[in-house]
Amino acid sequence: MSRKIRLPLGAAVLVLNAVQWVVSEAVAAAAWTSPPYSYATNYISDLGVPKCGTHYQGRTICSPDHALMNTSFIVQGILFATGVVLLAATLLSGRARRVVIALAGAHAVGFLLVGLFHGSPDGPGYSLALHVAGASIAILCANTIVILAGSLKSLQLPRAYRVFSIAVGALGLLSEAFVGVSASTAGIFERGGVYSWLLWSVVTGVSLLVGQTRRATEAKMPENVPA
């Protein structure tokens, strides 16, 4: 696959992934009516718990569209990793490429665990442990990738983009560290740790696609010939 294909394809995959996540989450949250789902207090993982009426950490969980959210978890891991690998293969080399690809692979495995093993005490004891471990690995790896995207000088990216990437990745990790501080804000801080790389995906993907389109347009423009 040539560079001209890998770059826009990787960018488009990142944008597509962010869109599918936000839409799936909104649909699953809207289907939750008793009690209403709260983006502030409920964990994202609550949307994937299959058993209605589960009580966990003071929350009553009932997600009618749990299958949709669990599918989205798995798809997210695959798409984010695919987009990152395509861009890494195009823009990076040597150890930097290997590290980013390894992080992307670990992220995908993490979200596979999140989608297959639910964030609920119901079921085998190892299920919740695998879910938490998968989510922790996935969130750590994704935000690390975002930080690396801004810190690798070899990419020669604009300063504004580098600052944005480092800041949003660092804030994502910091936000995740505050998840357990209060039950009333757990959902907010968890989303801070997840929406960080989704926002980065949209900004990165759109920037690359716009830049690619601009370069293609300029290449087709006829040169001015002096009279």
- Phi, psi (degrees; rounded to nearest 5) at 56: -150, 125
**What percentage of the chain exceeds 90 in pLDDT?**
72
- Answer whether residue 105 shows pLDDT above 80: yes
Nearest to 205 by CA among 79, 27, 74: 79
Residue that wins the pLDDT comparison between 224 and 45 = 45
pLDDT of residue 47: 96
Name the phi and psi angles at 25, rounded to 5.
-65, -45
Which class for 213: exposed (0-12), middle (13-18), buried (19 or more C-beta within 10 A)? exposed
Per-residue confidence (pLDDT) for residue 121, from 0 to 100: 81
Confidence (pLDDT) at 223: 58
Give the three-class secondary structure for 39: coil
Instruction: Map out the domains of the chain as residue ranges.
Output: 3-215
pLDDT tens, residue by residue, 33-63: 878 999 999 999 999 999 888 888 888 899 9
pLDDT at 227 over 50: no
- What is the average pLDDT value for the chain, to the nearest integer? 91
pTM of the predicted model over 0.95: no
For residue 124, pLDDT over 80 is answered with: no
pLDDT at 224 exceeding the cut of 60:
no
Mean pLDDT of 7-28: 96
Burial class (CB in 10 A: 0-12, 13-18, 19+), 26: exposed
Residue 212 CB-density burial (10 A; 0-12 exposed, 13-18 middle, 19+ buried): middle
